[in-house]
């Protein structure tokens, strides 16, 4: 009987990472079960990704919805425990650093099920980030640590992870980007959104930017100073939207707030932009491959390879306007470095590691 591999996804960042792994393992003698926890549950945050990226419809949708970190994680754990008891998978593959990721790792670990963590080893060293806690716990529990960058390998080694557990495979999210790059249509998105001329894209939702009222006021002032220089299009995440609006975020003619976009549309929007202001992790990686200047509005990043091998740099709210001025004056570079193994074949390498491990377990 073929071994059963369960993929646990739950939020928008997971889906482009899972798509190439699902496709590559689909060529192997395994049974796959795709679980969508429903952590992101509306169409623009989840379902559209399945349609656009050719991901099979989830076999199971747990429908946990939103909630506090504890409540959401508990709901996912309770539902997954019942599912794993029923199906007894040979391996659970988890992606990234969202609550669904750590919940699946906790349940699988306690049930003695092998865990593979895609995007292991990333570290911001900022314990105020919920994602950093999720990353640390998931990596500690995982049997296969599948890394996207050399620095991630080093972090795991420094933490005492056995070398045979660590596999540098590249970045499956970049597989998805490169596969779909020809579908990105900046002109179509520009027309749909109603933009003329140069523009910047912003994505802002981290607690460090949108939770504290003082931070929100600083952010609004900084972004208005950016909008003085160029139009800013911001697909606004539900998280923090009310706070930003209450603080007068929309009180500038240069700010264009839109609803979240599908993957293809969002990548088209970024591709045609003069630059991006973000606090997202994934956007730092996508701009690195697309050659779009990226200003990350955070004091740290768990993806330093996007700075050393890409187009990204860290900025503060009080320096943002000057940094944007510099980006607009310089324009987009004709050439830039890209990280090792971000070549469109990470999914295949992950499938090879997974299959080798499953064969070892079967022989044992």
Hey, what are 299's tokens?
């004091």
d(CA 233, CA 245): 15
Secondary structure class of 242 (helix, strand, coil):
helix
Per-residue DSSP letter, 38 = -
Q: Which of 7, 40, 69, 205 is catalytic?
A: 205
Cα four-point dihedral sign 328, 329, 334, 339? negative
Q: Are 254 and 225 in contact (CB under 8 A)?
A: no
| Cβ-based neighbour number of residue 283 at 10 Å | 24
As beta bridge partners, residue 337 has none
Per-residue buried b or exposed e for 45-76, using 16+ beta carbons within 10 Å of the residue's own CB: bbbbbbebbebeebebbbebeeeeeeebbebb
Smallest CA-to-CA distance from 118 within 147, 159, 85 is with 147
Decide if 69 is catalytic.
no
- Counting Cα atoms < 13 Å in the Cβ hemisphere of 39 gives 29
Per-residue DSSP letter, 328 = H
How far lies 230's CA from each of 183, 227, 234, 276, 352, in Å?
26, 5, 13, 12, 46
Question: DSSP alpha helices (H): ranges in the chain?
Answer: 14-25, 47-53, 69-87, 99-110, 130-141, 150-158, 172-180, 186-193, 207-210, 213-227, 241-246, 263-271, 281-290, 305-308, 320-330, 346-363
Question: DSSP alpha helices (H): ranges in 97-212?
Answer: 99-110, 130-141, 150-158, 172-180, 186-193, 207-210
Catalytic residues: 205
């Amino acid at each position: 009987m073929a071994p059963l591999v369960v993929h646990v996804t739950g939020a928008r960042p997971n889906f482009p990472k899972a798509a190439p792994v699902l496709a590559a393992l689909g060529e192997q003698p395994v049974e796959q079960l795709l679980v969508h926890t429903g952590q992101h549950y509306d169409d623009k945050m989840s379902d559209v990704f399945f349609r656009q990226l050719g991901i099979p419809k989830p076999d199971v949708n747990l429908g946990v919805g939103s909630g506090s970190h504890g409540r959401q994680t508990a709901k996912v754990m309770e539902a997954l425990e019942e599912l794993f008891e029923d199906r007894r998978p040979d391996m659970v593959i988890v992606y990234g650093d969202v609550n669904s990721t750590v919940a699946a790792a906790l349940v699988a670990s306690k049930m003695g099920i092998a865990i593979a963590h895609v995007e292991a080893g990333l570290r911001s060293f900022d314990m105020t980030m919920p994602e950093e806690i999720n990353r640390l716990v998931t990596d500690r529990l995982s049997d296969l640590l599948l890394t996207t960058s050399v620095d991630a390998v080093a972090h795991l080694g420094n933490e005492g992870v056995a070398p045979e557990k660590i596999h540098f495979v590249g970045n499956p999210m970049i597989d998805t980007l490169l596969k779909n790059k020809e579908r990105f249509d900046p002109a179509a998105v520009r027309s749909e959104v109603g933009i003329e001329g140069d523009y910047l894209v912003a994505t802002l939702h981290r607690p460090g930017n949108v939770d504290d009222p003082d931070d929100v006021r600083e952010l609004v002032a900084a972004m208005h100073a950016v909008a003085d220089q160029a139009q800013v299009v911001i697909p606004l995440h539900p998280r923090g939207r009310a706070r930003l609006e209450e603080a007068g975020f929309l009180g500038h003619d240069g700010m264009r707030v839109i609803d979240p976009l599908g993957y293809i549309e969002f990548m088209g929007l970024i591709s045609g932009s003069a630059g991006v202001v973000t606090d997202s992790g994934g956007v730092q990686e996508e701009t690195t491959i697309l050659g779009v200047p990226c200003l990350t509005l955070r004091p740290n990043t768990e993806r330093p390879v996007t700075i050393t091998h890409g187009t990204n740099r860290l900025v503060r709210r009080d320096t943002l306007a000057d940094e944007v001025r510099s980006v607009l004056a310089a324009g987009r570079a004709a050439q830039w470095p890209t990280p090792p193994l971000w070549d469109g074949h990470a999914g295949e390498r992950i499938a090879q590691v997974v299959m080798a491990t499953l064969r070892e377990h079967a022989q044992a």
